[in-house]
Amino acid sequence: MCGPVVMAAVRSEMDRRGLFGAAGAALLAGAIGARSARATRQATPVGGAVTGQGTVALGSFTAIVDLSHTITPGFPLFPGGTPFELSSLQTYEADGYYGNRISVDEHTATHMDAPAHFDPEGVTADLLPVTGFVAPLAVVDISGRAATDDDAQLAPDDILAWEAANGPLPAGAFLAMFSGWEARLADPATFLNQAEDGTLHFPGFHPDATRLLVDERDIVGIGVDTMSLDFGASADFATHVTALTAGKYGLESLANLGTLPASGATIIVGGPKHQSASGGPARVFALV
């Protein structure tokens, strides 16, 4: 549906980065062709242990908060998505134990968007450095505006206001938008909030805020408690393009952000690790 528009946005961003010089648009097609070869080559049986990160003080915490929703067949999906399916493999009665096969669209419920989701040159989720999966967590609360504006966007001023209250964004931070939208999961159609003309309406990051974070701060990723890093009415996924082509990862449909302090928590991201992952279900925690 929005394929050509998104395609143009990706190309525009790559052009901005000087990736479309003499080679022109052919590079994009070439990079697409190279994807599977690269992913196959880099994915080794043994996981990518990373050592020598340098000492990071975690201190102590008094609570662990689950930031992942339960994946169910009824969890809201983008139009055209296929619901989560659980099919029985073993039963107590027949086998003495219980097991299933699961099928799920990568971008279902609480999940990661890897750079490769929007960047043909970007890393897939299984290959992201794990050093970015434990990070200082900044929660920017726009729930006041979102309560009266379904198209609310986290703006540069929201980031500056957060810093005025909490100090500079820590190096290597993960910044999450809290809009209060998860309360709508009690009535899933209101979480997606699709108008009669097909347009979705829910809060997200304004591209200018994303640009500020990517260019002028040091972040590992951004997250939202809605279905998309971009607000629902976005026609070009400009926040996705800006964040993911800069090598950052995204987390969508985060839970329980409203229970966290604006500053001082640590996020731990149990990202997906299947080969060639554009993203996938993630188990995310906050230590508070």
Instruction: Tell me how far, at minimum, the Cβ of 216 lies from its own copies, in Å.
Output: 26
Instruction: Tell me how far, at minimum, the Cβ of 99 lies from its own copies, in Å.
Output: 5
Q: How far apart are CA 222 and CA 211, in angstroms?
A: 12
Nearest to 113 by CA among 7, 285, 269, 287: 269
User: Which contiguous run of DSSP H or E holds residue 216?
Assistant: helix 207-216
Kindly tell me which of 102 and 161 has the beta carbon lying closer to its own copies: 102
Instruction: Tell me how far, at minimum, the Cβ of 92 lies from its own copies, in Å.
Output: 5
Kindly tell me which of 158 and 207 has the beta carbon lying closer to its own copies: 207
Kindly tell me which of 146 and 159 has the beta carbon lying closer to its own copies: 146
User: Which contiguous run of DSSP H or E holds residue 268?
Assistant: strand 265-270
Kindly tell me which of 54 and 167 has the beta carbon lying closer to its own copies: 54
Kindly tell me which of 124 and 153 has the beta carbon lying closer to its own copies: 124
Question: What letter represents residue 57's amino acid?
Answer: A
254: Cβ contacts below 8 Å, ≥ 6 apart: 67, 68, 110, 176, 182, 223, 224, 225, 284
* Residue 62 token pair: 């008094």
Q: How far apart are CA 219 and CA 176, in angstroms?
A: 11
Q: How far apart are CA 10 and CA 69, in angstroms?
A: 30
Kindly tell me which of 128 and 159 has the beta carbon lying closer to its own copies: 128
Angle between helices 207-216 and 156-166 (to 10 degrees): 50
Instruction: Tell me how far, at minimum, the Cβ of 277 lies from its own copies, in Å.
Output: 8
* Residue 255 token pair: 């839970």
Contact 110, 253 (CB under 8 A): yes
Instruction: Tell me how far, at minimum, the Cβ of 128 lies from its own copies, in Å.
Output: 10
Q: How far apart are CA 117 and CA 104, in angstroms?
A: 16
Instruction: Tell me how far, at minimum, the Cβ of 211 lies from its own copies, in Å.
Output: 19
